Amino acid sequence: MWHRLRSWLRALVFRSRFEREMREEMERHLALRERDLVAEGHPREEARRRARLDFGPLEATQEECREARGLRWSDELVRNTRLAFRQLRRSPIFALTAIATLGLCIGANTAVFSVVDAVLLRPLPYPEPDRLAVVATVREPAGDSLPWISQDGASWELLRDHATRSHLAVYSGWGSEVSFSAPGWVEIVRQQRVGAGFFEVLGVEPRVGRGFDPEEDRPGGPAVTVLSHHLWQRAFSGEPRILGEKILLRGEPHTIVGILPADFVSDAEADLWTPLRASVDGEGSGTNYGILCRPHRGVSMAEAEAEIEALGRLRYARSEAENEPPNEPESELGWRLVPLQEATISGVRRSLLLMWASVAAVLLIGCVNLAGLLLARSATRGRELSTRLALGGGAGAILRQLLTETLVLALGGALAGLVVARVALSILQSWIRGTLGLWQSVHLDGRALAFTLALTLLTALLFGLFPALRTLRWTRLRPALSGHGGTADVSHRWPQRLLVVGEVALVAVLLVGAGLLVRTLTHLTHLPAGFGTDNLLTAHASLQDARYKERDPIVRLFDRSLERIRRLPGVELAAVGLNLPYQRGLNFPFRQPGGSSTGERPSITVLTYVTPGYIEALDIPLLRGRPLSGSDGPDAARVILVNQTFAETYFNATQANVTQADATWADENRSEDVDAADAIGRFLEVAGQDREIVGIVGDVQQKPSWGDYGPLATMPTVYVPVHQTSDEFLSLVHTWFAPHWIVRSSGSPLGLPEAIRQAIAETDSLLPVSPFAAPADLRARALAPQRLQARLSTLFAGVALLLAAVGIYGLVSHLVTERTPELSVRLALGASRPQTVREAAQPGLVLAVVGVVLGGALALPFTRALQHFLWGIRPNDPLTFAAVGLGLLAVAGVASLVPALRVLRLDPAAVLRQE
Amino acid sequence: MGDRRSTETTEQGSKERGSTDRPVELLQGTLDMLILKAASLGPEHGYGLLLRIEALSRSLLQVPQGSVYPALYRLEHQGLLTSEWGRSENRRKAKFYRLTAAGERRLHAETSHWERLSGAIGHVLAATPQEL
């Protein structure tokens, strides 16, 4: 087989020599034969003639020799390709339209595929990634909520001490920004805290040094750190003798014990790692840890999971008064192993698949368009192809020619598509990275190219095969050598009509989806903020610092910086709070002491510590009672503010079944005649102390961190004066959150952000303060995924709409051309021009109507699948459907009318004379 | 190994050779085998191979001139023959064909197949009513 390939290639590459040698060989043959005949006594002339005659037809023999070398089919391919190019050159508009359409569709699909491939399809970049899992808590029987992959310290210790079949490691999913300084290098870096053995379990061998020992991973252990390769290069220029060097992290010296390899990536996107020091109290009292698991060699995943399940039963059997995932009845909980890949992508999988489906639909529409265009062209090629058939070309040869044309178009589209893909991918990456948290490296690599090629061939087949077969059929049926066929037989255009209907239906589906997503975004954006959003500036600074381990220095920092800020011109109010509206807040357990029917089990609420004046600075309405003031100091009685949602949920005196209330908030549970004033004067046990509720404030929009309430919702929230918190509490929460400074000004004076930054710097010059954000920015960040979805779906739907419009235009245009005689007859018989124009445009409109109706029906199941992404709007929202239908019909109307306007320029007399 | 056109005899050829037997028709597909055999006897150019076959068959076989070259090209493409340009008797350039190792194996296989086949057919054709 290889020999034949080589032989063919040789003949192909050295074609002229092949031809020359073949000719020479046969001439030699003839010369020898001639000589022999002369030797037998024939005269020279006759010998020559006889030799030629006996040999047979020279050209036919040469053709057979070429075929013997496999050159026939490659010659045909080259010939067909040349023909295809010539055809395309003759209709440049068609060629450009086709290549542009294909380029756009193939390019977009390749770009999306690259992202989907990197995130969903490619295995994680660790050894044997299918044997990596995280320990997750699930409900039995299986509930519909996602498995909870955060565990607490007690769970970790249980697993660590008793799991024999797997290698386990604990880590914190919270990365934080901290200040890093090495000799001659200062930077804010991203830090992740992991337990001993973390890198071993992942299967990552540090390039230099090692991971953390159990000795280092216990409370009070030495301060060590592992750096990423890139940080090592940046800060130390890759100095090989790096082990044992010290760096300052949050102002504390740490010794470097390891450097990771250059190709290491993880979803934490960390620059360096420090020991987690997991414990059962403090951070470990809540579910703040992740537990990574890899079964030992020789143990199957099922065996390892069985052991984990058994330990889970142990864990939850004894957890009477311990924490568990918020607000779930404890009796049905258990542990499972969730594959690590699934755990890291579960949040984004749906969004990515939605994106992929949309872009595939656009490609489908593009192919449909092209098929329609090709079908339209085929009518004009009837004469040429019939001639070829008549000359004995053979149906197969014609089919091959048509398919070659399709392939040439498709390859042209693929080349354009690669350019588009490049651009689209970089845009897509920048959009997605900020919102869906894309940490995998994405680029156009071999897999993407292979995908492009496969897609190209598939599209060529999709849009080319049917028209080619149909063209062949027409060519055979029609006696096309005589004229162009008389009155147009519109019935033979039914494939093209069907395609247009299909196109319109698909576009309708895409438009409905986009419309719903856009309305979701609008709804979320216009949710009442609950606070005054004008003239507000916010910034945050990490207090995960050696100097702020206790309450007093923290409170001093706040008080002094606020004092300075309030003296700045234009500043009306200023305060500090741990979290802001539109953000994900701190989840904290609390209890209602005394005879409440919730019993001993703690509930979870969002908790923020604040300086006095926070409520006023944000302009949150005070509904009852009093706000916090300066007199709520460290020695005064412990007080707390709650918001309306909290009060209504927990203090509705008439509610018997408060456990149920734990799981339903806000709109689901709000009832107008609840007397939330019941809350004032009651006590809550929070962070170890009983605090009296002295006021009820309005709700603000937040990012919910449990349940399925959407990207923005009002959650039960409590506000604690920072002066009344403890050292342990503050240092605990500062491992996860950075406090925010809030400044309300009158108007927006220039230079205020700088002045505020200066004021804080005067209080503490080493504190790294983040850039300033206004409430609109915070809201934008919270709604980033929704905005991305709305944007992308609108983009795809827009492109699809354009393609459909082009398709309708093309169809009507060809129909008008074909029906020119018929329309001229109508005009001659006295029909008015406008009437005739309407008549000409009608097919397009009729098809559009059918397509819209079909699309509406198709959209119903599709939007139901979209439900996960919709908030504040029903999947079958009639307004959206109606708007899409009308809009689509309007576009179709224009697309049909424009080519129909040609009727206005018809000269019926001239046309009829021609017939 | 297939030759689409079956070879035919020419009356004239037989008259000129002066043989008393009528030249026979070549069965389809056997031309390749004959060419391989002819080439196995020594490197030769196309015309020479043609003459060789005719001579070896005692002029009973006359191969149409035009069908040799497609067969030669096919056999070379399959790697059963190899060719190179050399000098023929009268010092002119000609393309000489030689059997390769693969060609030898093929020839051997085809020959034994042919012998078995013709033997079997011979048995059938020689049958007398008594053998039934």
β-bridge partners, A769: A541
Q: Average pLDDT for residues A558-571, to the nearest whole number?
A: 92
Cβ–Cβ of A64/B79 closer than 8 Å? no
Q: Average pLDDT for residues A692-719, to the nearest whole number?
A: 89
Reported residue count of chain A is: 915
What distance in Å separates the CA atoms of residue A224 and residue A905, rounded to the nearest whole number? 85
Q: Please write the tens of the pLDDT for every residue from B9-22.
A: 333 433 444 444 55
Q: Average pLDDT for residues A4-14, to the nearest whole number?
A: 88
pLDDT at position A320: 46
Q: ∠ at Cα A390 (A386, A393), nearest 5°? A: 90
| Sign of the dihedral through C-alpha A152, A153, A156, A157 | negative
Is A25 an interface residue toward B (CB < 8 Å)? Answer: yes
Q: Please write the tens of the pLDDT for every residue from A723-758.
A: 999 998 998 898 888 899 999 998 877 788 888 988
Query: Looking at per-residue confidence, does A472 or A877 come out higher?
Result: A877
| Sign of the dihedral through C-alpha A303, A304, A305, A309 | positive
Cβ–Cβ of B45/A28 closer than 8 Å? yes
Q: Please write the tens of the pLDDT for every residue from A84-140.
A: 899 889 888 888 888 988 898 999 999 999 988 888 888 888 999 999 999 998 876
Weakest-pLDDT range from A820-824, B75-79, B123-127: A820-824
For A454, list phi and psi in degrees, rounded to 5: -60, -45
Q: ∠ at Cα A437 (A149, A716), nearest 5°? A: 55
Mutation site, A12, A61, A72, A73, interface B, largest B CB count within 10 A: A61
Of A346, A758, A411, A316, which Cα lies nearest the Cα of A565? A758
Of A329, A361, A370, which Cα lies nearest the Cα of A510? A361
- A794 Cβ neighbours under 8 A, 6+ residues apart: A514, A517, A518
Q: Average pLDDT for residues A60-69, to the nearest whole number?
A: 89
Residue A465 is classified by DSSP as H
Q: Which residues of A828-837 are buried (b: 16+ CB within 10 A; e: fewer)?
A: eeebeeeebb
**What percentage of residues in chain A have a pLDDT greater than 90?**
32
pLDDT at position A663: 37
Of A297, A317, A295, A290, which Cα lies nearest the Cα of A306? A295
Q: Which residues of A772-811 are buried (b: 16+ CB within 10 A; e: fewer)?
A: bbebeebbeebbbbbbbbbbbbbbbbebbbbbbbbbbbbb
The token duo for A367 is: 């192919």
Q: Residue holding tokens 């075929």?
A: A67
pLDDT at position B11: 38
Cβ–Cβ of B77/A32 closer than 8 Å? no
β-bridge partners, B132: none
pLDDT at position A443: 80
Interface list for A 247-266 with B (CB within 8 A):
none
pLDDT at position A513: 93
Helices (H), A198-300: 198-202, 229-236
Whole-Å CA distances, A839 to A534, A809, A896, A908? 57, 15, 11, 16
Cβ–Cβ of B70/A8 closer than 8 Å? no
Cα dihedral A466→A471→A477→A483 (10° resolution): 150
**End-to-end distance of chain B based on CA atoms, in angstroms?**
36
Whole-Å CA distances, A689 to A279, A535, A592, A692? 22, 36, 11, 10
What distance in Å separates the CA atoms of residue A887 and residue A864, rounded to the nearest whole number? 22
Helix A382-390 / helix A340-380 crossing angle, nearest 10 deg: 80
Residue A840 has pLDDT above 90, yes or no: no
pLDDT at position B41: 92
A-B CB pairs within 8 A amount to: 68
Q: ∠ at Cα A629 (A627, A632), nearest 5°? A: 110
Q: Average pLDDT for residues A31-60, to the nearest whole number?
A: 88
What distance in Å separates the CA atoms of residue A198 and residue A211, rounded to the nearest whole number? 7
Compute the nearest-CA separation of A36 from chain B (Å).
Answer: 11
Query: Looking at per-residue confidence, does A560 or A391 come out higher?
Result: A560
pLDDT at position B80: 92
Query: Looking at per-residue confidence, does A454 or A477 come out higher?
Result: A454
pLDDT at position A145: 55
CB atoms within 10 A of CB A100: 16
Is A31 an interface residue toward B (CB < 8 Å)? Answer: yes
Cβ–Cβ of A28/B78 closer than 8 Å? no
Q: Average pLDDT for residues B78-105, to the nearest whole number?
A: 88
Is A65 an interface residue toward B (CB < 8 Å)? Answer: yes
Mutation site, A54, A58, A59, interface B, largest B CB count within 10 A: A54
Residue B10 is classified by DSSP as -
What distance in Å separates the CA atoms of residue A406 and residue A274, rounded to the nearest whole number? 59
Compute the nearest-CA separation of B18 from chain A (Å).
Answer: 13
Helices (H), A526-541: none
Identify the top-confidence range among A90-99, A448-457, A557-566.
Answer: A557-566
Residue B46 has pLDDT above 50, yes or no: yes
Chain B hits for A21, Cβ within 8 Å: 85, 95
A68 vs B46, B47, B70: nearest CB: B70
Rg, Å, chain A Cα set: 38
Residue A43 is classified by DSSP as -
Q: Please write the tens of the pLDDT for every residue from A760-782.
A: 988 888 787 888 889 999 998 88
Cβ–Cβ of A68/B64 closer than 8 Å? no
Cβ–Cβ of B70/A61 closer than 8 Å? yes
Q: Average pLDDT for residues A185-213, to the nearest whole number?
A: 90
Residues of chain B that touch chain A, judged by Cβ-Cβ distance less than 8 Å: 16, 45-47, 64-67, 69-71, 73-74, 76-79, 85, 88, 92-95
What distance in Å separates the CA atoms of residue A827 and residue A154, rounded to the nearest whole number? 89
Residue A717 has pLDDT above 60, yes or no: yes
In sequence order, what DSSP letters do the residues of A284-340 get, joined into one string?
GGSS-EEEEEEEPTT--HHHHHHHHHHHHHHHHHS-SSS--STT--GGGEEEEEEEH
Q: Average pLDDT for residues A391-413, to the nearest whole number?
A: 85
Rg, Å, chain B Cα set: 17
Residue A183 has pLDDT above 50, yes or no: yes
pLDDT at position A657: 33
pLDDT at position A146: 61
Asked if the interface predicted TM-score (ipTM) of this complex is over 0.95, the answer is: no
B77 vs A7, A29, A57: nearest CB: A7
Chain B hits for A70, Cβ within 8 Å: 77
Chain A hits for B88, Cβ within 8 Å: 28, 32
What pLDDT band is residue A56 in, cutting at 50, 70 and 90? confident
Is A15 an interface residue toward B (CB < 8 Å)? Answer: no
Which chain A residue is nearest to residue B66, measuring alpha carbons? A55
Residue A281 has pLDDT above 50, yes or no: yes
Q: Please write the tens of the pLDDT for every residue from A304-336.
A: 999 998 998 888 776 544 444 455 454 577 888
Q: Average pLDDT for residues A259-272, to the nearest whole number?
A: 88
What pLDDT band is residue A594 in, cutting at 50, 70 and 90? low
Compute the nearest-CA separation of B130 from chain A (Å).
Answer: 48
Of A334, A343, A341, A336, which Cα lies nearest the Cα of A304? A336
Which chain A residue is nearest to residue B78, measuring alpha carbons? A4
A133 and A338 in contact (C-beta within 8 Å)?
yes
What distance in Å separates the CA atoms of residue A453 and residue A450, rounded to the nearest whole number? 5
Chain A hits for B47, Cβ within 8 Å: 28-29, 32-33
Q: ∠ at Cα A811 (A807, A816), nearest 5°? A: 145
Cβ–Cβ of B93/A68 closer than 8 Å? no
Weakest-pLDDT range from A305-309, A428-432, A859-863: A428-432
pLDDT at position A654: 36
A783 and A521 in contact (C-beta within 8 Å)?
yes
Whole-Å CA distances, B85 to A33, A69, B101? 19, 18, 20
Compute the nearest-CA separation of B74 from chain A (Å).
Answer: 5
Of B51, B35, B56, which Cα lies nearest the Cα of B106? B35
Is A145 an interface residue toward B (CB < 8 Å)? Answer: no
Is A55 an interface residue toward B (CB < 8 Å)? Answer: yes
Cβ–Cβ of A28/B70 closer than 8 Å? no
What pLDDT band is residue A272 in, cutting at 50, 70 and 90? very high
CB atoms within 10 A of CB A662: 19
Cβ–Cβ of A29/B65 closer than 8 Å? yes
Compute the nearest-CA separation of B73 from chain A (Å).
Answer: 6
Cβ–Cβ of B76/A28 closer than 8 Å? no
A65 vs B64, B65, B73: nearest CB: B73
Query: Looking at per-residue confidence, does B4 or A601 come out higher?
Result: A601
Which chain B residue is nearest to residue A32, measuring alpha carbons? B47
Interface list for A 294-313 with B (CB within 8 A):
none
pLDDT at position A653: 42
- pTM value > 0.95: no
Query: Looking at per-residue confidence, does A663 or B43 come out higher?
Result: B43
Compute the nearest-CA separation of A64 from chain B (Å).
Answer: 6
Q: Average pLDDT for residues A837-865, to the nearest whole number?
A: 90
Which residue type does A719 have? Y
pLDDT at position A486: 40
Chain A hits for B93, Cβ within 8 Å: 24, 28
Interface list for A 415-434 with B (CB within 8 A):
none
Compute the nearest-CA separation of A398 from chain B (Å).
Answer: 25
Q: Please write the tens of the pLDDT for every residue from A460-475.
A: 888 888 888 877 777 7
**What percentage of residues in chain A have a pLDDT greater than 70?**
91
The most distant pair of C-alpha atoms in chain B lies apart, rounded to whole Å, by: 62
| CB-based burial label for A244 (10 Å; 0-12, 13-18, 19+) | exposed
Chain B hits for A29, Cβ within 8 Å: 45-47, 65, 69
CB atoms within 10 A of CB A173: 15
What pLDDT band is residue A912 in, cutting at 50, 70 and 90? confident
Question: What is the average pLDDT value for chain A, to the nearest integer?
Answer: 85
Cβ–Cβ of A56/B64 closer than 8 Å? yes
Mutation site, B65, B84, B95, interface A, largest A CB count within 10 A: B65
What distance in Å separates the CA atoms of residue A624 and residue A765, rounded to the nearest whole number? 40
